[in-house]
Chains A and B, each alone.
Chain A
C-alpha cells in the first residue's frame, strides 16, 4: 500500500470517527493535512503569519462544516475546495489593500526554508532557481497558477483537481499543459539551463 492509499484510508477512518463524536480525530486530521494546507496558503499570501492565520481559518471552517459532508471518501477534495475558496478570498482581500505591492521580492527567503547538506554554491544556485520559478509563477494568471500549485506542489491527482476546481478531466489536462508550457516559456527567458 503506497503513502497516498494509507493517507486516504486513515482519513476516512478519522472522518468517520469525528462524525461519530470523537473530537480528537479532528486533531489527527489537522496533523495529516496541515503542511499541505499551510503551504498552499503560503503560495497565495507569501507570508508565514498570514498563511498560518489563513490555514487555521480553513481548518476552523472544516471543523464546523464537516458534519454536513455527505461523501466521506471525498474528504480530501472537499478540504481543498474549502482551502481554495479561502485562499482566493484572502488573496483578493489582501490585493485590494495593496498588500502584495508592499511585499518585497527579497522577502522570499522568509518562506523558502531550504534544508539540506548541499554546499553553499549549490545551495545558492538552487535558491536562485527557486526565486526565478516563484517570480514566473507570480507573473502568471490566477487560474494557471492555481492548477500548477495543485498538481506540482500539492501533488494531487487529475481527478481530484477536476473535482476541486469543478472542471472536466479533459479541461484539467489541457489547462495544466498550457500552464506548464507558460511556465517553461517564462523561465526560458531567464534561465539558461532550460
Chain B
C-alpha cells in the first residue's frame, strides 16, 4: 500500500468503516512508514479534539417558543409558506390573471358608457338646467355655478366628467386635451347652452386685454370640482390676482363669463392656486379644499374661480 492510499483510509479506519483486508493493509503500512504513522496520530488527535467541543444546553422556554411560533407565525414564515404553496396555485395564477384582464377591460368600457349615453340622448336634467340658465341674468354666475354642482342623484357614472366634454363640444378648444370623444362625434353632440354673456357690464372685472375673451359668448353647463370665490373690495388686488391666475403656466385657464374663470389644474399644482387665492379673502366650496392637506383623487381638477 502506498502512503496516499493509506492516508485515504484514515477516516474509515478511525470509524471502523473498513473491510478486514483494508485494515490489515493500513496497519501494515503504518508499522513500516514513520511519516504516515505520524500523520495518523495527528489525524486521530484532530478528530478527538473536535469531538471534545462541549454540547451546549438548550435555553429555557425552547418548546414554548415553538408553540408560540406555530400559533403566531411571523410574516417571514407566512411568506415562505405562501411561496411553498405556489406550485399548488399554478392553476389559480392564470385564473387570477384572466380575471384581472376581464376587470381591466370592463373598467375601460364602463369609463366610456356615460359619454356614449350622452351622445345618444341629451341628459334631461342638463337640458333643463341649460334652458333655465339661458334665462338667468349675467350678474349671478357664482350662484349659477353653485347650483349646477353635481347633485347626489346625478345619474352620470362620473359626475363632472361628461359635462367637461360638453364644455369642449361648445367650441372651447383650449381644453381639447381633455376631449374624450373623437372629433367627428363631437360635431354631432348636442350643445347645451346654459349661459349667454350679454357683455358690456359696467362692473365686469374681465375687461382686461385677454385674447380669447370675445370668443366665448356661449357656454355649456359645467360641473367644476371646486368653486373658489374671491371676496375683495380692492379692485387692483382683484385684477392682480386675475392676471396671476390667467398667466400661470401651471394650469390652463379660460374665461367663463365676466366674473368667472374656469381652470384645469393638475392635482400637483393645486397648492399653488390655493396659495394665490388665499392671498385675498377667498372662500372654498367644498370648504375642506382650503386645507393644505387636501389631496384630490383626480389627476386634473376643474376649478371655477369667481370674483364676488
Write the residues of chain A forming the contact surface with B, with a CB cutoff of 8 angstroms.
Answer: 27, 30-31, 34-35, 38-39, 42, 48-49, 51-52, 55-57, 59-60, 63-64, 111-115, 126, 129-130, 132-134, 137, 148, 151-153, 158, 173-174, 176-177, 180-181, 183-184, 187-188, 191, 193-194
A183 & B46 in contact (Cβ 8 Å cutoff): yes
What does the 1/0 interface line of B1-23 toward A look like (CB < 8 Å)? Answer: 00000011111101101000000
What does the 1/0 interface line of B216-258 toward A look like (CB < 8 Å)? Answer: 0000000000000000000000000000000000000000000
B50 & A148 in contact (Cβ 8 Å cutoff): yes
Determine the residue in chain A with the shortest Cβ distance to B57.
A113
Determine the residue in chain A with the shortest Cβ distance to B59.
A52
Contacts of B63 in A (CB 8 A): 27, 30-31, 34
Contacts of A158 in B (CB 8 A): 15, 17
Q: Tell me the residues in window 158-211 of chain B with beta carbons closer than 8 Å to chain A beta carbons.
A: none
Query: How far is it, in angstroms, between the C-alpha of A34 and the C-alpha of B11 when the chains are bound?
Result: 28
Contacts of A115 in B (CB 8 A): 54
Contacts of B42 in A (CB 8 A): 184, 187-188, 194
What does the 1/0 interface line of B247-284 toward A look like (CB < 8 Å)? Answer: 00000000000000000000000000000000000000
Q: Tell me the residues in window 125-164 of chain B with beta carbons closer than 8 Å to chain A beta carbons.
A: none
B62 & A56 in contact (Cβ 8 Å cutoff): yes
Determine the residue in chain B with the shortest Cβ distance to A35.
B58
Contacts of B77 in A (CB 8 A): 57, 60
B49 & A187 in contact (Cβ 8 Å cutoff): yes
A111 & B56 in contact (Cβ 8 Å cutoff): yes
Query: How far is it, in angstroms, between the C-alpha of A180 and the C-alpha of B9 when the chains are bound?
Result: 12
Query: How far is it, in angstroms, between the C-alpha of A111 and the C-alpha of B49 when the chains are bound?
Result: 17
Query: How far is it, in angstroms, between the C-alpha of A183 and the C-alpha of B44 when the chains are bound?
Result: 11
A56 & B69 in contact (Cβ 8 Å cutoff): yes
Q: Tell me the residues in window 43-88 of chain B with beta carbons closer than 8 Å to chain A beta carbons.
A: 43, 45-47, 49-59, 62-63, 65-66, 69-70, 73, 77, 81
Contacts of B70 in A (CB 8 A): 60, 63-64
A176 & B45 in contact (Cβ 8 Å cutoff): no
- Counting chain B CB atoms within 10 Å of each CB, the highest count among A52, A132, A152, A153 belongs to A152
- Counting chain A CB atoms within 10 Å of each CB, the highest count among B41, B46, B77, B81 belongs to B46
Q: Given contact pairs A60-B73, A191-B49, A194-B46, enumerate 4 new A-B contacts (beta carbons under 8 Å).
A: A48-B56, A60-B66, A151-B15, A177-B7
- Counting chain B CB atoms within 10 Å of each CB, the highest count among A52, A132, A193 belongs to A52
Contacts of B58 in A (CB 8 A): 34-35, 38, 52, 55
Assess A177 versus B50: contact at CB under 8 Å? Given A30-B63, A52-B59.
no
Query: How far is it, in angstroms, between the C-alpha of A32 and the C-alpha of B65 when the chains are bound?
Result: 16
Instruction: Looking at the assembled complex, report how far the CB atom of B48 sits from the nearest CB atom of chain A, in whole angstroms.
Output: 9
A133 & B43 in contact (Cβ 8 Å cutoff): no
Give me 6 A-to-B residue pairs in the complex whose CB atoms sit less than 8 angstroms apart, sorted by A's number. Answer: A59-B66, A60-B73, A111-B56, A137-B50, A174-B8, A184-B45
Query: How far is it, in angstroms, between the C-alpha of A38 and the C-alpha of B49 when the chains are bound?
Result: 21
B11 & A173 in contact (Cβ 8 Å cutoff): yes
Instruction: Looking at the assembled complex, report how far the CB atom of A126 sits from the nearest CB atom of chain B, in whole angstroms.
Output: 7
Instruction: Looking at the assembled complex, report how far the CB atom of A125 sits from the nearest CB atom of chain B, in whole angstroms.
Output: 11
B46 & A35 in contact (Cβ 8 Å cutoff): no
